[in-house]
Structure 1
């Protein structure tokens, strides 16, 4: 026994709305726009005409920015090749010893230059955040180590960064990150 699928008929308001939406798009090749629905006659007496007030105009739809895909980890094959010394990173930046704002600007500049140079994999050294002698009460250990991954996840860097992973011990271990970069648009 097969179940027949019951479909609900569109109300006149739904048909009118669909017609309105369909008029604002270009039909696919070989397709035509749906016909305008006939205005439904109401049997109820019409109310007295009111002074015409302008109908509210819906705001225009703004084009949405395409959402970027989630960050992807560096491939295992690439990590193994890096760890065994069969592959090198394309470029390196050492941020440790810099203040947070200075490091952020240096990181942005470095990533833009690396992408413009066509690099695919770079190493960012943040340092492990050893305790500084005579550090103040509010000084934190490992600020860059904590902040660089946060910066790499921000939307403004997502056009540059595909993903990142903690570096292998010979490249700095937990005090460094491998970062995969996107190819520049228009680059072959």
Structure 2
């Protein structure tokens, strides 16, 4: 509940209001003829009617599982087989090689990553671990937020670009036992596929 104004506050407000000049009301603005569309001319798409032939209450759907847009965005379908993907995300698969990019600049890390991934593909490794680190948090004094973890942000993009994308089957965040959010599993393709 708002408090009531005291008489001296009311008097002060009245003096301020008497000195204020009202703003001029803007003239009515008209739409240019090219942009104005009459309701009769505006085309609206016809509503889509679902096909309900043969529908009865209590009967199961004949189609497969329906996935909502939210579920599809939350869980992307892995490119690799589901059993290996599950083992990898739970940290049950052991990486055959690892590279630690801590302390490297972007100019140093990019060629090192390319050499490591392409070399691992030549050695026919399947799962390698790329450690980017989580990034240093810096005091943020400006109005525009600064992204920390430059390598953490750029390494996934580098892995999606050529020539690395040709030898990579799947990239996912590592399990906690292998570095968690500061590392990535890179699952390589078999040679000849």
Residues 165 and 177 of structure 1 are in contact (CA less than 8 Å); yes or no, is this contact kept in structure 2?
yes
Distance 1:83 1:98, change over 3 A: same
Residues 124 and 179 of structure 1 are in contact (CA less than 8 Å); yes or no, is this contact kept in structure 2?
yes
**Correspondence for 2:73:** none
RMSD: 3.2
**1:104 is matched with which residue: 110, 118, 125?**
110
Q: CA deviation at 1:84?
A: 5.4
**2:188 is matched with which residue: 156, 173, 181?**
181
2:179 is equivalent to residue 160 of structure 1? no
**1:78 is matched with which residue: 76, 81, 84?**
84
Distance 1:123 1:73, change over 3 A: farther
Point out the structure with max Rg over C-alpha: 2
What does residue range 1-188 of structure 1 map to in structure 2 within 5 Å?
A: 72-73=78-79, 75-82=81-88, 86-131=92-137, 140-185=147-192
Distance 1:156 1:85, change over 3 A: closer
Q: Give the structure-2-normalised TM-score.
A: 0.51
CA distance in 1, matches of 2:176, 2:90: 11
Q: Name the SS for the 2:135 alignment partner.
A: coil
Q: List structure 1 runs of 4+ shifted beyond 6 angstroms.
A: none
Distance 1:181 1:83, change over 3 A: closer
1:83-141 deviation line (CA, Å, top 9, x unaligned): 655421111111111000100011000011101111011110000002269xxxxx852
Q: Give the structure-1-normalised TM-score.
A: 0.52
CA distance in 1, matches of 2:151, 2:137: 13
